[in-house]
Chains A and B, each alone.
Chain A
Amino acid sequence: MGRLLKLREAHKTDAPATCSVVWAHDGSHLATSCASDTEVLIHDLSAPPPGRSGSAAGSSPVVLRHHKEGVTAISLGPTAGPLASGSFDHSVKLYSFPGGTFQGNVTRFTLPIKSLAFNKSGSLLAAAGDDDGIKLISTIDLTISRVLKGHRGPVTGLSFDPKHDYLASIDSFGTVIYWELSTGKQLHTLKSIAPNYNSDSSVLNTLSWRPDGEMLAVPGLRNDVVMYDRDTGEKLFNLRGDHEKSVCSFCWSPNGKYLATSGLDKQVLIWDVDLKQDIERQKFEERVCGLSWKPVGNALAVIDVMGRFGIWDNPVPASMKSPTEGVVFNEPNVLFEDEDEDEVLGKGISCYSGSLDDTIEKGSGDFSPISRKRVKKRGPLFDEGEEEVLQEIDSRKRRRESENKRGDGEIRERGARMQDAFQAGSTPPQEGKRRFLCYTLLGCVTSLENDGFSHVEVDFHDTGRGPRVPSMTDYFGFTMAALNESGCVLANPCKGEKNMSTLMYRPFGSWANNSEWSMRFESEEVKVVALGKNWVAAVTSLNFLRIFTESGLQMHILSVNGPVVAAAGSGDLLAVVTHASDCLSSGEQILEIKVFNINEATQTISGRLPLTPYSHLTWLGFSEDGRLGSFDSKGNLRVYSDQFGGSWLPVFSVEKARKSEDENYWIVGFNATKLFCIVCKSPESYPSVMPKPVLTILEFSSPLASSDLGADEVENEFMMTNLQLSEIRKKIKDMEAFGLDVTTLDDEAFSLEVKLDRCILKLIASCCHSDRLVRATELARLLNTQKSLKGAITIVTASKLPILQEKFSCILEERMLDDSKTPEPIPIVRSNRKASNTIQPPVRLSPMMERTPDLNNRTPNTIKPQIKSSPASETLKLVKPHSSIRENLAQGEEVSKDRELGKLEKLATFVKVKGNVTSEVAGKEGSSSATENAKPELKIPINPFAKVKKVT
């Protein structure tokens, strides 16, 4: 490295100060700034022939004097976009480029600005500094579109993800935050991963995305540069070499193959990132604080802390690939302007990200020039060096493969890839640690590998009931398992030719000895297993669904439609998810689900399995009551429902439930209203066997749109209760068809109806608050019982809405009319239950409902006739209860005057205690006949059906 780069003074400074430099996109201009200088300079390089002497062009630069204090940051928009500058004077200004005309002030901060960044399209400018927020400014109308708060120290580096999903920022404490641009949320917070410069303001931490957006470079703590994964924020690898002090600045080559870094040790290094090897270096007199690659050529602009800049031509040796090769240019004609001999263009103008594997291979093909350089450097190490690099390439490939297997989000998003088969509730193998082969609400199957064979243990959570299962030594290397009360099934994939795929079933309790059995598969591999009542299912690589009985009899062999993804069994039902076709071009998978009833040999569900875009299936299973659910990698639980002819309802989203960023939810199961999961602290995404994981219960919540009502919780409850109710009603219907006893279910349905009514009353109350009268009326129509309808009338009376009062009374009247039309008393119990499935509540049969108005009206003897009366005489009496309500309300209005609106909810609970209230009212009003009459009726159980039975 004999030649020393000559630097030319651009900014005058007495003390070291942070300076920056940026290239124009066509390489014709260069903009520089310095923190101790108020000027921004635009140097024209194209006017005289581009200098190869290492010095910049001679013509005098355009000077922009708009800042009052030193300029700390500059950033250039895409393709001749505006130039932005930020300064100690707290302002951000925009200029045209390369003309340098002042376009305006973008924003002002309360403290100095330290960092600026444009996004790739130039529509957003991010600015940050000592203020506590990062401002995102739309460059079209210069409005602040978002302020991102989360850093505890001055933000010194910003970088927009080239794919425009994220913004990465770093502060002087060395904390890096990934922000999601669409929501403004913090995705990952990586604390103290970069050097802490909080006490030293002359050095600013920076960070930068690789131009393909796949990784983020951040200065590391050990004089290195560390690469972090785009999506997960995990550390990928680091570039460590000849820097003797911390890296303070770096810049990616336009194609992302090379990285230029400058350290506090006054060196600038050029790295080949794929090989993780430094290929060139240069020492300077002063620390270089600004670096910028020429967008269209092999040149690097550098600026040091004394405000002197220069252009380093050919930092990448001519024998190696050009730093611009493989870049998609915006303007093709630019390509031919610059005729650097080492520019190999048009060979493969493709997106870098699309051909990563390709690049790796090319990297190994282009091997000799690199090793030649290494020979020069440390001659005798040639062989070793080559091997090392080869190994590196190899390990890198392996890593990518394993990532693919894991189904990493990054890979998934980029290349459309179909996910592999998985066993729900299993965790990946870990060296020397026990892993779950299967974890359900019932128990778990764990395995620990030890010297070529493993120990498999089966544990039930409920130690009181589950059988004790002796542990087992497994010579097959089982990786799949399924478990239920009566047994467990284990299977292993084939490993080479010797080790065939085996399926083994162990019953836990059997009257005969040796009832364990196993099956071997030649040239076929078990992919997933499932277990149900008296059957075992396995789906294999030949897309066969093989069904065995509990004793090992081969019962059925079916072909499934595609490569299997997952399977789950419960009772008679077996669900199998397969790939329906290759992924869409956007990367979304197309999965198909079929549910079989094994005992009846029928197919109950067949259709597509919905997934959140860009996610993959991570769990599939049945709840205890036999409902099917699926969970995807974006954390959404969907439950299959018969509504709308069979559809999947999203009932839970991790996004909403997540309490803190570093929690991952590993689903175990669900029931009618709750999700059971294990909370894992990031970065762990799955639980370990020891210590025993503890389940966490999360309530379901629908992905509701945020409504104007401001009662999200109640709305959610409404949705969920409705769903539950419809499920139960369906079950009642099914059971009735078989002529089974449904009393307990009826009880359950009734209590759900009451719950739903309470919820609707709350909604009516909040509708009244926010003046949504039509919605309130609609809600009133949904009320199940007349009792709650009366409660609703009380609510609207209290909130002084006579219109609604009128409407509700009409609804009540209609209800009563409808009721009287239905033939009574109902002779057959079953038809009565049918009625419970309609909106018309079965409750109307209970005299308690009708009693209220009558008691108040002091005509208690109308109760009986009302039930038994013929439709003709009913019309007469219909007026009565209605008018009595009015009277009642008139009385109530006085009482309600002093009631505050806030007590509305209390009113809603009125419904619940109404039985008692009425008796109280009756007692107070002093009519002894009323109390006498009321009392015996109060003994009637709340369940209306019990009453009906007595009647019949």
Chain B
Amino acid sequence: MAGQSDHSLSIFSAAEVEFIAEDEMIEIVPNIRMDALNLLCGDFGPFLPQIPCKVPLWLAVALKKRGKCSIRTPDWMSVEKLTQVLEAERESPREFQPLPFHYVEISRLLLDHAHDDIPEVYMVRSLIEDIRNVRFHKVESGLETISGRTYAVKLKNLSAMEVNLVRPFMVRVLQAFDKHDSPETVQQADASASKRPQVVDRGLRVSLSCVTC
């Protein structure tokens, strides 16, 4: 996407972000009887038919693929909630609505693997796409406002995938501006920036805070 101008600077690939998101917990309704799973990341279960329990997303997807459970759609993924969020996103051009940090990844995984468990799946899919577009448009239009005097950009409620897309670009932009602002350090900054773009020179604060509520 737009922000991913330089691959080497991107901290995570999309697949990696998705991998991280798979550790989020989600509720499933198993249709099998199975003893508790004692895994490195914790104990899950025991699984009893028709009795909901919480498991990590990767386990839910694995069970779902084998037809052993149905996944309960999280609250925020209902048409009603998403419509509200979309409206609020459109109404406030400067703010992001609170959504789960991994909403893009979770919704993508659920839509791919558990579409039969989501009520009104087409509506949900298009709403989430709309929300993503609106939010990314906001990010992009926000990038336009970065100027020479910008030292930090605060983006509240930005989600993992979104921040992953813009972080490298934004950091580089801020550094570039800073570099041009202070010509005497051009040499030095250039040298260090090419190696480690995250390193902050001479008190320049680059903070991209992603606060999830």
Q: Chain A: residues with CB nearer than 8 A to chain B?
A: 441, 460-465, 676, 691-695, 697
Told that A463-B49, A463-B68, A464-B33 touch, could you supply 9 new A-B pairs with CB distance under 8 A?
A460-B49, A462-B31, A462-B49, A463-B32, A463-B67, A464-B32, A464-B68, A691-B119, A694-B72
Q: Contacts A694-B52, A694-B72, A695-B51; is A461 near B31 (CB within 8 Å)?
A: yes
Contact check, B119 vs A462: say whether CB atoms are below 8 A apart.
no
Complex: A942 Cα to B119 Cα, angstroms: 51
Shortest C-beta distance, A352 to chain B (Å), equals: 46
Q: 27 A-B pairs, CB-CB below 8 angstroms?
A: A441-B50, A461-B31, A461-B49, A461-B50, A462-B31, A462-B32, A462-B33, A463-B31, A463-B32, A463-B67, A464-B31, A464-B32, A464-B33, A464-B68, A465-B32, A676-B51, A691-B119, A692-B29, A692-B50, A693-B50, A694-B29, A694-B50, A694-B51, A694-B52, A694-B72, A695-B50, A697-B51
Complex: A691 Cα to B78 Cα, angstroms: 15
Q: What B residues does A695 contact at CB under 8 A?
A: 50-52
Q: What A residues does B67 contact at CB under 8 A?
A: 463
Q: What A residues does B50 contact at CB under 8 A?
A: 441, 461, 692-695
Complex: A463 Cα to B67 Cα, angstroms: 9
Most interface-central of B33, B50, B51 (chain A CB within 10 A):
B50
Complex: A386 Cα to B200 Cα, angstroms: 91
B70 within 8 A of A: yes
Shortest C-beta distance, A704 to chain B (Å), equals: 27
Q: What B residues does A676 contact at CB under 8 A?
A: 51
Q: What B residues does A461 contact at CB under 8 A?
A: 31, 49-50
Shortest C-beta distance, B149 to chain A (Å), equals: 49
Q: What A residues does B49 contact at CB under 8 A?
A: 460-463
Most interface-central of B32, B49, B70 (chain A CB within 10 A):
B49
**Interface flags, B45-83, vs A, CB<8A=1, else 0:** 000011110000000000000011010100000000000
Shortest C-beta distance, A571 to chain B (Å), equals: 19
Complex: A571 Cα to B72 Cα, angstroms: 34
Shortest C-beta distance, A271 to chain B (Å), equals: 40
Q: What B residues does A694 contact at CB under 8 A?
A: 29, 50-52, 72
For B119, give the chain A residue with the smallest CB separation: A691
Q: What A residues does B29 contact at CB under 8 A?
A: 692, 694
Shortest C-beta distance, A787 to chain B (Å), equals: 28
Complex: A691 Cα to B31 Cα, angstroms: 14
Complex: A692 Cα to B51 Cα, angstroms: 11
For B68, give the chain A residue with the smallest CB separation: A464
Q: Chain B: residues with CB nearer than 8 A to chain A?
A: 29, 31-33, 49-52, 67-68, 70, 72, 119
Q: What A residues does B32 contact at CB under 8 A?
A: 462-465
Q: What A residues does B52 contact at CB under 8 A?
A: 694-695
Q: What A residues does B68 contact at CB under 8 A?
A: 463-464
Q: What B residues does A462 contact at CB under 8 A?
A: 31-33, 49
Shortest C-beta distance, B150 to chain A (Å), equals: 46
Complex: A691 Cα to B71 Cα, angstroms: 13
Complex: A379 Cα to B67 Cα, angstroms: 69
Shortest C-beta distance, B191 to chain A (Å), equals: 58
Shortest C-beta distance, B115 to chain A (Å), equals: 15
For A678, give the chain B residue with the smallest CB separation: B50
Complex: A697 Cα to B32 Cα, angstroms: 17
Complex: A939 Cα to B130 Cα, angstroms: 63
For A463, give the chain B residue with the smallest CB separation: B31
Q: Which 6 pairs show the lowest CB-CB distances between chains A and B?
A: A461-B49, A464-B32, A462-B49, A461-B50, A463-B31, A695-B51
Complex: A676 Cα to B51 Cα, angstroms: 9
Complex: A706 Cα to B80 Cα, angstroms: 42
Complex: A692 Cα to B32 Cα, angstroms: 15
Complex: A697 Cα to B52 Cα, angstroms: 9
For A693, give the chain B residue with the smallest CB separation: B50
Q: What B residues does A465 contact at CB under 8 A?
A: 32-33
For A462, give the chain B residue with the smallest CB separation: B49
Q: What B residues does A464 contact at CB under 8 A?
A: 31-33, 68
Most interface-central of A462, A691, A692 (chain B CB within 10 A):
A462
Contact check, B70 vs A692: say whether CB atoms are below 8 A apart.
yes
Complex: A199 Cα to B119 Cα, angstroms: 40
For A691, give the chain B residue with the smallest CB separation: B119
Shortest C-beta distance, B54 to chain A (Å), equals: 13
Q: What A residues does B70 contact at CB under 8 A?
A: 692
Q: What B residues does A460 contact at CB under 8 A?
A: 49
For B29, give the chain A residue with the smallest CB separation: A694
Complex: A167 Cα to B72 Cα, angstroms: 40
Shortest C-beta distance, B166 to chain A (Å), equals: 39
Complex: A676 Cα to B52 Cα, angstroms: 12
Complex: A15 Cα to B70 Cα, angstroms: 65
Complex: A461 Cα to B49 Cα, angstroms: 5
Shortest C-beta distance, A903 to chain B (Å), equals: 28
Complex: A17 Cα to B64 Cα, angstroms: 67
Complex: A463 Cα to B72 Cα, angstroms: 18
Complex: A715 Cα to B198 Cα, angstroms: 58
Complex: A691 Cα to B68 Cα, angstroms: 17
Shortest C-beta distance, A470 to chain B (Å), equals: 19
Complex: A461 Cα to B33 Cα, angstroms: 9
Shortest C-beta distance, A491 to chain B (Å), equals: 25
For B72, give the chain A residue with the smallest CB separation: A694
Q: What A residues does B33 contact at CB under 8 A?
A: 462, 464-465
Q: What B residues does A692 contact at CB under 8 A?
A: 29, 50, 70
For B31, give the chain A residue with the smallest CB separation: A463
Shortest C-beta distance, A831 to chain B (Å), equals: 35
Shortest C-beta distance, B114 to chain A (Å), equals: 14
Shortest C-beta distance, B16 to chain A (Å), equals: 34
Shortest C-beta distance, A673 to chain B (Å), equals: 14
Q: What A residues does B31 contact at CB under 8 A?
A: 461-464
Complex: A866 Cα to B123 Cα, angstroms: 76
Shortest C-beta distance, B198 to chain A (Å), equals: 45
For A439, give the chain B residue with the smallest CB separation: B50
Q: What A residues does B72 contact at CB under 8 A?
A: 694
Shortest C-beta distance, A668 to chain B (Å), equals: 9
Shortest C-beta distance, B89 to chain A (Å), equals: 29
Complex: A691 Cα to B33 Cα, angstroms: 21
For B34, give the chain A residue with the smallest CB separation: A464
Q: What B residues does A463 contact at CB under 8 A?
A: 31-32, 49, 67-68
Complex: A201 Cα to B121 Cα, angstroms: 47
Shortest C-beta distance, B77 to chain A (Å), equals: 15
For B66, give the chain A residue with the smallest CB separation: A464
Complex: A694 Cα to B117 Cα, angstroms: 13
Shortest C-beta distance, B73 to chain A (Å), equals: 11
Q: What B residues does A693 contact at CB under 8 A?
A: 50
Most interface-central of A465, A676, A694, A697 (chain B CB within 10 A):
A694
Shortest C-beta distance, B37 to chain A (Å), equals: 15
Shortest C-beta distance, A686 to chain B (Å), equals: 16
Shortest C-beta distance, A297 to chain B (Å), equals: 56
Complex: A676 Cα to B48 Cα, angstroms: 12
Complex: A463 Cα to B69 Cα, angstroms: 10
Complex: A461 Cα to B31 Cα, angstroms: 6
Complex: A634 Cα to B52 Cα, angstroms: 26
Complex: A693 Cα to B51 Cα, angstroms: 10
Shortest C-beta distance, A348 to chain B (Å), equals: 55
Complex: A463 Cα to B52 Cα, angstroms: 15
Complex: A461 Cα to B52 Cα, angstroms: 12
Complex: A296 Cα to B51 Cα, angstroms: 61
Complex: A461 Cα to B70 Cα, angstroms: 12
For B33, give the chain A residue with the smallest CB separation: A462
Complex: A717 Cα to B49 Cα, angstroms: 27
Shortest C-beta distance, B32 to chain A (Å), equals: 4
Complex: A465 Cα to B34 Cα, angstroms: 11
Complex: A691 Cα to B117 Cα, angstroms: 10
